[in-house]
Amino acid sequence: MKAVCVIATGAGLSLGLGLSARVCADDEHPPGPYAMVWIEGGEFSMGSERPDARADESPVHRVRVSGFWMDQTEVTNAQFREFVEATGYVTTAERPVDWEQIKLQVPPGTPKPADEELRPSSLVFIAPVNDVPLDDLSNWWVWTHGASWRHPFGPGSSIEGMDAHPVVHVSYEDALAYCQWAGKRLPTEAEWEFAARGGLDGAHYVWGDGPVTPERANIWQGVFPTKNLEEDGYAYSSPACTFPPNAYGLYDMAGNVWEWVADWYQPELYRQRVLALGPDGVTADPQGPETSLNPMNPREPRRVQRGGSMLCHASYCSSYRPSARMSTTPDTSMIHTGFRCVMSKEMWDERQAQLSQEQLEGSELKQ
What's the rounded Cα separation, in Å, for the pair 162 and 122? 19
57 within a domain of the structure (yes/no): yes
- The pLDDT value given to residue 22: 36
Give CA 339 to chain center in angstroms: 3
H or E element, residue 38 = strand 36-39
209-214, long-range: CB within 8 Å, 24+ apart, which pairs?
A: 212/314, 212/320
7 within a domain of the structure (yes/no): no
Taken in order 74, 33, 216, 316, the sign of the CA dihedral is positive
Instruction: Give residue 218's identity as a one-letter amino acid code.
Output: N
359 within a domain of the structure (yes/no): yes
- The pLDDT value given to residue 13: 53
The three-point CA angle 36-41-42 to 5° equals 145
- The pLDDT value given to residue 255: 98
Q: How many domains does the chain have?
A: 1
pLDDT in tens, 247-264: 999 999 999 999 999 999
pLDDT in tens, 28-37: 555 789 999 9
My answer on whether omega of the bond before 298 falls inside 30° of 0, hence cis, is: no
- The pLDDT value given to residue 55: 96
pTM for the whole thing? Answer: 0.92
2 within a domain of the structure (yes/no): no
45 within a domain of the structure (yes/no): yes
The three-point CA angle 159-161-163 to 5° equals 75
For residue 330, pLDDT over 70 is answered with yes
What's the rounded Cα separation, in Å, for the pair 87 and 208? 41
For residue 12, pLDDT over 60 is answered with no
Would you tell me how many other CB atoms lie within 10 Å of the CB of residue 98?
12
Average pLDDT estimate for 37-43:
96
H or E element, residue 42 = strand 42-46
Q: What are phi and psi of 228, to 5 degrees?
A: -100, 115
**What is the overall mean pLDDT for the chain?**
91
Average pLDDT estimate for 191-216:
97
| CATH number, residue 286 | 3.90.1580.10
Alpha carbon distances (Å) from 341 to 90, 125, 188, 263, 345: 19, 25, 10, 14, 13
Taken in order 39, 165, 13, 174, the sign of the CA dihedral is positive
111 within a domain of the structure (yes/no): yes
Residues contacting 57, CB < 8 A, separation 6+: 47, 48, 49, 270, 323, 324, 325
Q: Cβ(87)–Cβ(302) under 8 Å?
A: no
Beta bridge partners of 326: 305
What's the rounded Cα separation, in Å, for the pair 348 and 148? 31
**pLDDT confidence band for 362 (50 / 70 / 90):** low
In which domain, by residue range, is 161 found? 13-366
269 within a domain of the structure (yes/no): yes
